Amino acid sequence: MTKGQHVPLRTCVVCGNKTVKAELVRIVATPPGEVKVDPTGKLPGRGAYVCADGKCAQESLGKSR
């Protein structure tokens, strides 16, 4: 990484942890209404991120999320 390069941060919708985009998995609601895992991060539609390591997969979403 070069000096001054921007590193995108995203927030996990389950635990609220902010981390680099590469450590999260993107879940997408596509325009036709399907929900898909987006490994490339380029699918069209509304996306949300969850931790890729699976730590927060067991937790339920809070009321505010």
pLDDT for the residue numbered 58: 66
Q: Give the pLDDT band (50/70/90) at residue 1.
A: low
**pLDDT tens per residue, range 42-56:** 999 999 999 988 777
Overall average pLDDT of the 51-63 stretch: 71
DSSP code, position 1: -
38 residue type, one letter? D
**pLDDT tens per residue, range 29-41:** 999 999 999 999 8
For a pLDDT cut of 70, what percent of the chain falls above it?
A: 83
DSSP 4-65: T----EEEBTTT--EEEGGGEEEEEE-TTS-EEEESSS--SSEEEEEETTSTTTTSPPPTT-
- Specify whether the CB–CB gap between 57 and 50 falls below 8 A: yes
CA 47 to chain centre: 7
